[in-house]
Amino acid sequence: MEVDRVQNRKFLWQKGITYISFLLIYVFIEWVSNIDPFHNINITPWNPAAALIVFLFLQNGERAAGLVFVSMLSAELLIFGYSDNFAAKFWVCILMTFDYLMLASILLRFCPDGGMFNNRENLFAWVIIIALGSIFNGALVATVYSAANTFGGLGNWGFAVLHFFWSDASGIIIGLPFLWHLRDAKRRHAYYAATVKVETLGYLALTFLLIWIAFNESKPTSFGYFFTLFLPIVWASSRQGLCGAILCSVALQLGMVIAEQFGNSVLIELFDVQMRATVFALVGYFIGVVVDTQRRDAEILKQSLRLSAAGEMAAALAHELNQPLSALGTYGAACQKMLSQNADVETLRLAINRMTNEASRAAKIVVRLRDFFRSGSTLMERFALQDLIESAATSVREQCTDVGIALNVTATPDQMLVADRMQLDLVLRNLLANAVESVAEHTETLREIWVRSERVANGRLCITVEDSGPGIPESIAKNLFEPFTTTKAKGLGLGLAISRAIVEAHGGALVAEAGQHGCFKLYLPLASGHSAHG
Amino acid sequence: MDKTVFIVDDDPSMRDSLSLLLGLHGYRTAIFASAESFLASRRDDWYGCLLVDLRMDEMDGLTLQQKLREMGSTLPVIIITGHGDVASACTAFRSEAVDFIEKPLDENHLLASIEEALSRQEERKNAYRREAQFVERMAHLTQREKEVMQAVVSGKHNRDIAAELGISVRTVEVHKARMMSKLGVHGIPQLVRISLGLSAKPEIKTL
C-alpha cells in the first residue's frame, strides 16, 4: 500500500511537471509568435502554437482538453493582460479547444499513421482537413469577437477569418510534421538517420543565404528572388525525402520570420511571408512523400528479388542435397546388408568412411545455403582478392574441365578488399556460371574463359570476366540487368539483377561490355591503397 | 553376358553406393559416368537391366532410353531421379520404363523394381526363344500343312477347310494333327497365340 502511494505520488509529480512545462512552452511560443496581433486580440499572422495543440490532441485525445484550455487562456492573460473583453476571450478559448480537438480526431480518422500522412493520397486529405479546420476555427473566433464588438464591420470579419485561417494552417502544416517526427524514440532515430548528414548543412546554408538575398532591401527587386527559395526545399526533399522536407520547411519558416522582423524590410508583411512559407512546405512535402514512396518500393523490390534468388538457390541446393543424402542412404543399406552377411570389419569400415564423406558433402551444401541467407545482412570483412577469385574459379573449374573449356585466371594483383566476401563470391560465381553456360552452348571451336583483375583509375579495382561465347544479344542488352531478363531457357533471369544490386551496395558497378564476346566488368572501390603485404 | 545391372549416373557417390549395395545383393553391376560412355561401350548381347539417372549434364536419362529403343534394344530401363515431375514420368513409362524411382532410393523398392525388370527380360527372352523355335519348325511343314494351319488360325471349321482346299474332312484332320505335332503345340489356342504374336512382328514372316 505504502509503495503504491509513493509510486502514485511520483507519477502525479511527473504528470504535474509535464503539464506545467507544456503550459510554459505554449505561453512562450505564443509570446514569441505574437507579431502584428490583429486588433490586440490573439490573431497573429504566425501561429506555431496551433501545431503544439493539435499534436497534444493527436497524442492524448480529449484528456488534453483541460490543459489546452488553461494554456490558451493563460497565454491570453499573460500576453495581452486582463481587458474588458475577457468574456469573449474566455468563450473563444473554449470554442478553439473544441475545434482543435475535432480537427485532431478527424486527422486521426483519415490519416492512418497517427494523424500524419505517409503517402500522396493522405497528404491531400491531411492538407484539406487542416485547411477546413482552420477556416472553421477562424469563422468561430471572428464571429465571437464580432458579437463582442471587438472589431466592427463585416469587412473586418472576413479579413479576420482569412488571417486566422492562414496563420493557423501555416502553423500546423509547418509545425505538426516536425513535432510528430520527434514524438518517440523510434521516429526520432529514423529522423536523425535521414537528416544528420553533411549535406543537411548544405541546404540549410543555401536556405539562409537565399533568405538573406530575398529580404535584402538595398536592392528593390530582391523580393523577385523569392522563387529561389524553392531550391533548398527541393534539394532537401528530393535527397532526404519527407524528413529533409520537414527540416528545411522549419528552417525556412524561422529564417523568413526572423528576416522579416529584424531585417529592415517594410515592403512585405508577415502575412505574405507565411503564405509563401506554407507553399514552400507543401511543395517539399509532396516531393518528399513521392521520394519516400519510391524508396520504400525500391526496397521492397530489392527484398523480393533477394527472396526469389534465395528460392532459386534453395531449389538448386535441394537438388544437390538429394545426391549425398541418397548415396548416404544407399551406403547405409549396404552396411546393413554387410552386417547380416557377417562381412569383415575392413569392408564395413570402408563403407562407413564413404558414408561420413557423403555426410560432410551434404553439410557443405547446407553451409552454402545458410551463407546465402546470411548475406541478407552485409558483413564487411578484410580478405585477399586472390582468395575471392580462387574460390569463385574453383566453383566452376571442374565443370570447365568436363566440357572442355579453358579457364584462364591471370595476374591477380596483391590486394586486400574490405567487403562482404560471401556476397561478392556469389556475384563472381554467377558471372562465371553464365560464362560457362554461354561457351558450352554456343561455341564449338574456341572454348575459353578469362578472369583478369587490375587496379584502374580513381582508386578502383576492375575484375573482368570474359568468355568466347557469342556475347549479349542486342535485343536484351538494354535491360540486361533488369529482373526477369534472360537468354536462358531455365532460370528466372534474376542473377544479374541481384549481382548488380550487391555490387552497387558495395559502392561499385557491374557493366556488360558490348562486343563479339561475352564480357562483364565488375568495379569495386578500394580501401585507400592497402596491398596484401601493406 | 550374364544378368547385369548397368548403372548410369553422373554422381560418383551414387554410382559407387548403388554398385556396392547391389553387389551385396548378389547382382553383377557395371557402372558408367554418362549416357554417352554407356552407348559407346554397349553391345547387343548385354543382358540385365539399366538403372539410369534422369538428370545428367550432357545426355539425360530419358534421351538415353529413347536412343536405346531406336537401336532396338530390349534392355529394361529403371529411371531414378532427384525430383520427379509428372511429364518426365509419363515420357519414361510411354517408352516402357519398368519404374520411375525418386531419390533418396528405398532399398526394397529398388530391389523389387530390379527383380521385375530382370523377370520381364527373362520372359521376353523365353518368348523370343519360343518364337524362334516355332519359326524354325514351321520350315518343316509341307505346303498343304501350311495352308491348313493358316485356315485353322483364321478360325475355320474342318468342314469349311475341306471345302476350300477341295479335300475330304478326314484328310484335313490328318494334316492338322501332323502340323500340330511338327510345331510341338498342344492345342488350337496355343497355336493361335504364337502365330498371332509372330504376325505382329513384321521381321518374322509367318508364311
Distance of residue A329 Cα from the nearest chain B Cα, in angstroms: 7
Q: Identify the pLDDT of residue A533.
A: 40
Q: Which residues pair with A198 in a beta bridge?
A: none
Mean pLDDT across B109-118: 92
Mean pLDDT across A141-151: 77
Mean pLDDT across A134-161: 78
Which chain B residue has its CA at the smallest distance from A340's CA? B24
C-alpha cell at A19: 503539464
- Helix, strand or coil, per DSSP, at residue B79: strand
**If pLDDT is split at 50, 70 and 90, which confidence band does B32 have?**
very high
Mutate which of A319, A330, A348 to test chain B, going by most B C-beta atoms within 10 A? A330
Do the Cβ atoms of B25 and A329 come within 8 Å?
no
Which chain B residue has its CA at the smallest distance from A329's CA? B104
**Ramachandran sector of residue A4 (left: φ over 0; alpha: ψ -120 to 50; beta: rest):** alpha
pLDDT for residue A446 is more than 50:
yes
pLDDT for residue A153 is more than 60:
no
Q: Identify the pLDDT of residue A433.
A: 83
- Judging contacts by C-beta atoms under 8 Å, the chain B residues touching residue A357 are 13
**Residue pLDDT, tens place only, A403-422:** 888 888 886 788 888 887 77
Which run of H or of E encompasses B44?
Answer: none
pLDDT for residue B124 is more than 90:
no
Q: In this structure, are residues A446 and A401 in contact, taking their beta carbons and an 8 Å threshold? A: no
What is the number of helices (H) and of strands (E) in chain A? 15, 7
- Which among B13, B20, B25 is the nearest to A323, CB-wise? B13
Pairing of strands A518-525, A460-467: antiparallel
**Residue pLDDT, tens place only, A469-493:** 877 776 666 666 655 555 554 444 5
- Which among B14, B20, B82 is the nearest to A319, CB-wise? B82
Q: In this structure, are residues A213 and A261 in contact, taking their beta carbons and an 8 Å threshold? A: no
Cα A81 → chain centroid = 48
Of A394 and A67, more confident: A67
Of the candidates A235, A225, A285, the residue with the CA atom closest to the CA atom of residue A256: A225
Mean pLDDT across B95-105: 88
In this prediction the ipTM stands at: 0.71
Burial class (CB in 10 A: 0-12, 13-18, 19+), B78: buried
pTM: 0.55
**Residue pLDDT, tens place only, A169-192:** 999 999 999 998 888 888 888 888
Asked whether the CA dihedral A67, A68, A71, A73 is positive or negative, the reply is: negative
Q: Identify the pLDDT of residue A361.
A: 85
Which chain B residue has its CA at the smallest distance from A356's CA? B13
- Judging contacts by C-beta atoms under 8 Å, the chain A residues touching residue B54 are none
Which chain B residue has its CA at the smallest distance from A361's CA? B13
Q: Identify the pLDDT of residue B113.
A: 93
End-to-end, the C-alpha distance of chain B in Å comes to: 33
Of the candidates B6, B1, B64, the residue with the CA atom closest to the CA atom of residue B30: B6
Do the Cβ atoms of A354 and B17 come within 8 Å?
yes
Q: What CA–CA distance (Å, rounded) separates A521 from A462? A: 6
Distance of residue B115 Cα from the nearest chain A Cα, in angstroms: 17
- Which among A323, A334, A341 is the nearest to B82, CB-wise? A323
The residues of B whose Cβ lies within 8 A of any Cβ of A are: 11, 13-14, 16-18, 20-21, 24-25, 55, 57, 82-83, 103-105, 107
Do the Cβ atoms of A354 and B14 come within 8 Å?
no
Written in H, E and C, the secondary structure of A154-218 is HHHHHHHHHHHHHHHHHHHHHHHHHHHHCCCHHHHHHHHHHHCCHHHHHHHHHHHHHHHHHCCCC
- Judging contacts by C-beta atoms under 8 Å, the chain A residues touching residue B14 are 323, 326-327, 330
Mean pLDDT for chain A overall: 81
- Judging contacts by C-beta atoms under 8 Å, the chain A residues touching residue B11 are 323, 327
Residue at grid coordinates 578469362? A450
Pairing of strands B3-8, B47-53: parallel
End-to-end, the C-alpha distance of chain A in Å comes to: 69
**If pLDDT is split at 50, 70 and 90, which confidence band does B205 have?**
very low
Which chain B residue has its CA at the smallest distance from A338's CA? B24
